[in-house]
A = this chain, B = another copy of it.
Amino acid sequence: MKDTAVLLIDCPDRKGLVARVSGLLFEWGANILHADQHQDHALGLFFMRVEWALEGPASGTSAAGERFDLGGFKAAFVPLAAELGMRWQLTCGDQQTRVALFCSQYLHCMADLLYRWRAGELACEIPVIVSNHREVETLAGFYGIPFEFVPVTAATRGDAEARQLTLLKGYDVELVILARYMQILTPAFVAEYPSRIINVHHSFLPAFTGARPYHAAHARGVKLIGATSHYVTDLLDDGPIIEQDVARISHRDQVEDLVARGRDLERIVLSRAVRWHLDRRILCYGNKTVVFD
């Protein structure tokens, strides 16, 4: 857990935005660790991420050990943000995001995320794992995470989602990760977590949308396969892309080889997306993402 604060901003672009924000941070004595910005010139939008130490070694004019006054800064920032039409998010390291993992019968992504979480790569809490397959419970148990079994069929989707939403509220979940969860979510469900549901699709989107992408890739005879992590929107496989990666295949590879190689890709693109989201590196706009590195 890093003892830092992160400010994420997006707003209409205009001159002086960096100066205004960095000036205010300077006034409050922030020791900036990382700052990055981006403009979409076509749309006239401005994006910024600043991360600063909340307590640190003496630097410049500040005395050692003096703790940053986050409340004071926030009170001063709010009117500035209002004046400049900013949407913003201010978080600090001790506010760990509460994450729910959803998965179905394929466990590789969930197992990978849990391993990374235990290894300290993912700065979050995981209060609950939800699945429509009972065999997930063993793995959840190994990591000491409550498991909720929610069976889903086309006929019971409404009830199942209602139960899932109740669970998410009950566990106070802020981010839902679909770790190869094979059920379609309804627009009503998605609307509850806008830009807060991350999915992994087992193809290099927008190629091979829909079901059975490895079969489609094999049939088409492509020479690279891919995987894509993205935020979920109402349109299936069409949300803002967070990360993609590919692996080389050859004529020797059968569908099952593609599936096996794809598992590695899926793990990697999903875990990167989750880590970047947790580290507040991602801003969504339109159907795109800005990912600050």
Contact = CB atoms under 8 A, between A and B. Distances in A.
Interface in A270-293: 286-291, 293
Interface string A240-269: 111111101011101000001001100010
Given A16-B60, A221-B241, A251-B289, 14 more contacts: A14-B61, A16-B26, A19-B22, A107-B119, A112-B115, A204-B207, A205-B222, A222-B244, A223-B243, A223-B291, A224-B246, A246-B246, A248-B248, A250-B291
A26 B21 CA distance: 12
Contacts of A163: none
Interface string A198-218: 000000111110000000000
A96 interface: no
Nearest to A221: B288
A37 interface: yes
Nearest to A264: B268
Interface stretch (A28-36, A87-95, A176-184, A186-194): A28-36
A283 to B, nearest CB: 9
Minimum-distance CB pairs A-B, first 7: A221-B288, A14-B60, A19-B26, A15-B60, A207-B207, A16-B26, A19-B22
Nearest to A14: B60
Given A224-B226, A289-B251, A32 B59 contact: no
B30 A15 contact: yes
A18 interface: yes
Interface of A: 13-16, 18-20, 22-23, 25-26, 29-39, 41, 59-62, 107-108, 111-112, 115, 119, 121, 142, 204-208, 220-224, 226, 240-246, 248, 250-252, 254, 260, 263-264, 268, 286-291, 293
A241 B251 CA distance: 11
7 contacts: A16-B26, A22-B22, A33-B39, A34-B39, A38-B252, A221-B241, A223-B291
Nearest to A115: B111
B19 A19 contact: yes
A269 to B, nearest CB: 9
B251 A223 contact: no
Contacts of A241: 220-223
B60 A32 contact: no
Nearest to A12: B60
A6 to B, nearest CB: 15
A22 B34 CA distance: 15
Contact of A207 (B108, B142, B206, B254): B206
A244 B268 contact: no
